[in-house]
């Protein structure tokens, strides 16, 4: 159950687009379309922003989108807003009926 | 609205036990799988365990297997986590989380803090 690999930090200016990668293996990210992304602001519980690789829960801005190619999933945030500054985590279902998270990526809006 | 309220956290010495509870409301509890996820101070999220909607299947992270037990009482709309042989590295905020049916965790509780220290 090794953690998925995410960059430690990314940054962008308001209005720009950024992408966060999440790399796993064929036993997790590459093997199933059960990749999710979570946004966590300091001192609060995480919030689901993408599930099933590309789907957005009701109420989540269309500025958030997800994709996957091989063993790597990506979260793209377009039209960056100051409120998007947070830590983002990916997760995936695995072949052993467990779940694994990425280490988290801190997004800074410059 | 969906509510998940954890309780039972606190300070405990290494080797001791603790049981966390999570009271669910606002949705048909017996239709959903449920998870526990933890977050050590200043660290990332770590998945702990999952239980199926009817309690018939459970799976655990290697780090807690054999020490922690997840269970549920659908008549009481309550999820549990029995934690035995606690270690300092189990110190974390523990979140009760609903599974949206495809391992997407769509509702999170506010978390309960567990501190394991002598």
Alpha carbon distance A91, A99 (integer Å): 7
User: Mutate which of A94, A99, A104, A106 to test chain B, going by most B C-beta atoms within 10 A?
Assistant: A99
Q: What token pair was written down for A3?
A: 């953690």
Alpha carbon distance A14, A66 (integer Å): 20
Residue B8's pLDDT is what?
97
Q: What residues in A contact B108, CB-CB < 8 Å? A: 45-47
Q: What is the mean pLDDT of chain B?
A: 97
Nearest to A99 among B62, B100, B103 (CB): B103
Residue B101: pLDDT band (50, 70, 90) is confident
Residue B76's pLDDT is what?
98
Q: What b/e string do you get for A54-84 counting C-beta neighbours within 10 Å, with b at 16 or more? A: eebbeebeeebbbebeebbbbbebbebeeeb
pLDDT digits (tens, 9 = 90+) for A42-98: 999 999 999 999 999 999 999 999 999 999 999 999 999 999 999 999 999 999 999
* Average pLDDT of span B11-19: 97
CA A13 to chain B, closest CA, distance in angstroms equals 25
Residue A21: pLDDT band (50, 70, 90) is very high
* Average pLDDT of span B13-27: 98
Residue B20: pLDDT band (50, 70, 90) is very high
Asked if A102 lies within 8 A of B44 by C-beta distance, the reply is yes
How many Cα atoms occupy the beta-carbon half-sphere of B42 within 13 Å? 1
- B85 and chain A in contact, CB less than 8 A: no
Q: CB–CB of A105/A20 below 8 Å?
A: yes
Which of B102 and A1 is assigned the larger pLDDT?
A: B102
Q: What residues in B contact A99, CB-CB < 8 Å? A: 35, 47, 50, 103
How many Cα atoms occupy the beta-carbon half-sphere of B98 within 13 Å? 24
Residue B102's pLDDT is what?
84
Indicate whether B41 pLDDT > 90.
yes
Q: Which of residues 2-61 of B touch A (CB under 8 A)?
A: 35, 37, 44-47, 50, 57, 59-61
Residue A2's pLDDT is what?
84
Alpha carbon distance B113, A42 (integer Å): 16
What string of DSSP letters covers B80-91?
Answer: EEEE-S--GGG-
pLDDT digits (tens, 9 = 90+) for B47-72: 999 999 999 999 999 999 999 999 99
Q: What residues in B contact A3, CB-CB < 8 Å? A: 44
Asked if B59 lies within 8 A of A36 by C-beta distance, the reply is no
Looking at beta carbons, which pairs linking A79-86 to residues 24 or more positions away fall under 8 Å? A79/A15, A79/A16, A79/A17, A80/A12, A80/A13, A80/A14, A80/A15, A80/A16, A80/A17, A80/A18, A80/A109, A81/A14, A81/A109, A82/A14, A82/A109, A84/A39, A84/A109, A85/A109, A86/A39, A86/A40, A86/A41
Residue B19's pLDDT is what?
98
Q: What residues in B contact A28, CB-CB < 8 Å? A: none
Residue A19's pLDDT is what?
98
Asked if A45 lies within 8 A of B111 by C-beta distance, the reply is yes
Question: Which three-class secondary structure state does DSSP give residue A9?
Answer: strand
Residue B98's pLDDT is what?
98
């Amino acid at each position: 159950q090794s953690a998925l690999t995410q960059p430690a930090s990314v940054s962008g200016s308001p209005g720009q687009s950024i992408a966060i990668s999440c790399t796993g293996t064929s036993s997790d990210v590459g093997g199933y379309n059960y990749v999710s992304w979570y946004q966590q602001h300091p001192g609060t519980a995480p919030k689901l922003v993408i599930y099933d690789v590309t789907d957005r829960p009701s109420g989540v801005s269309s500025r958030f989108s997800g994709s996957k190619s091989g063993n790597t999933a990506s979260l793209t945030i377009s039209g960056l807003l100051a409120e998007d500054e947070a830590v983002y985590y990916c997760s995936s279902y695995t072949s052993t009926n467990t779940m694994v998270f990425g280490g988290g990526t801190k997004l800074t809006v410059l | 609205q969906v509510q998940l309220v954890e309780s039972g956290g606190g300070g405990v010495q290494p080797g001791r036990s603790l049981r966390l509870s999570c009271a669910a409301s606002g949705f048909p509890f017996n239709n959903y799988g449920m998870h526990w996820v933890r977050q050590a101070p200043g660290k990332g999220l770590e998945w702990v365990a999952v239980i199926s909607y009817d309690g018939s299947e459970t799976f655990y992270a290697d780090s807690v297997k054999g020490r922690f037990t997840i269970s549920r009482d659908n008549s009481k709309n309550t999820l549990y986590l029995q934690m035995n042989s606690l270690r300092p590295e189990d110190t974390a905020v523990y979140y009760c989380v609903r599974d949206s049916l495809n391992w997407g965790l769509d509702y999170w509780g506010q978390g309960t803090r567990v501190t394991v220290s002598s």
